[in-house]
Copies of this chain bind each other. A is one copy, B any other.
């Protein structure tokens, strides 16, 4: 109970290295900024993993010790190995939380968990986004102001091709008039998936304490009561109910 929540912050980590301006915003990478906040928050132990590490930093051992995995990817979704996607999916089904951030809507793992294309409309115009809370009292919203106004963001617009959310936490409007379901929760097997929209690489979104607080809250909410050793797939072998 007093054990810290083990979070693995995964990042594609390419934009920060290939684009000087982005590198200046995130000298330690977006994963570094997120992990630093989580480690300072109390009750969470965050480590990081990135695409170019062996097995993308997501070995069986790492995932078995992960309560919640956060995922940011954009330009290299296709380079994520299918067997790692399989592995992450298995761990979500067995109880691990999965938080997909911003452009991770098009990641293999998010599309895998949703069963849909996860496509959307988009526009880069550094425009204003207003995120409205649509589930007051939800743990992900604890201590978060409503609405959250972000002055400069990339726009994502509906139709967002996702299954109907089991809980819609945020809906955004954009200066151009679009709307977007920006925070959504689904259960999958024994695990939960949270999609959270903000996080475009050219803006310092992951330095914004409000955004970081949402990610932190989501880590606490998605952490399984106990990282179960009995996975769902084992359960299919329990066999008969004794008559």
For A232, the chain B residues whose CB sits under 8 A away are: 116-117, 119, 136, 159, 161
Q: Which residue of B lies closest to A134 (CB)?
A: B158
Q: Shortest beta-carbon distance, A31 to chain B, in Å?
A: 25
Complex partner residue of A139 from B174, B225, B243, CB under 8 angstroms: B225
Cβ of A233 within 8 Å of any chain B Cβ, yes or no, is yes
Which one, A9-17, A22-30, A53-61, A107-115, is touching chain B? A107-115
Interface pair A241/B159, CB less than 8 Å apart: no
Shortest beta-carbon distance, A131 to chain B, in Å?
Answer: 9
Q: A115-B114, A123-B240, A173-B173 are in contact. Are A189 and B147 (CB under 8 A)?
A: no
- Complex partner residue of A179 from B171, B191, B230, CB under 8 angstroms: B171
Which segment, of A32-40, A180-188, A197-205, A207-215, faces chain B?
A180-188
B164 contacts A233, CB within 8 Å?
no
Asked if A164 and B166 make an inter-chain contact with CB atoms under 8 angstroms apart, the answer reads: yes
Query: Which of A176, A179, A228: most chain B Cβ within 10 A?
Result: A179
Q: How many copies does the complex hold?
A: 4
> Is A159 within 8 A of B187, CB to CB?
no
A75 at the A/B interface (Cβ < 8 Å)? Answer: no
Contact between A241 and B115 (Cβ–Cβ < 8 Å)?
no
Kindly state whether residue A126 has any CB partner on chain B within 8 Å: no
Please name the residue on chain B nearest to A236 by beta carbon.
B119
A132 x B179 contact (CB < 8 A): yes
Chain B residues within 8 Å of A159, by CB: 132-134, 136, 232, 235
Interface set, chain A 33-84, CB cutoff 8 A to B:
none
Residue of B nearest to A173 (CB): B173
Q: Is the CB of B187 within 8 A of A167?
A: yes
- A125-152 residues with Cβ-Cβ distance < 8 A to B are 128, 130, 132-139, 142, 147
Complex Cα distance, B190 from A70, in Å, reads: 26
* Set B176, B179, B228: member contacting A243, Cβ < 8 A: B176
The answer for the CA separation of A236 and B117 in the assembled complex, in Å, is 10
16 A-B residue pairings within 8 Å (CB atoms): A116-B189, A121-B236, A132-B158, A134-B158, A134-B160, A136-B159, A142-B225, A159-B235, A161-B189, A161-B232, A164-B165, A164-B166, A164-B187, A166-B167, A171-B171, A179-B179
- Of all A-B residue pairs in the complex, the 7 with the closest CB atoms, nearest first, are A137-B190, A119-B236, A173-B173, A113-B115, A171-B179, A132-B158, A130-B177
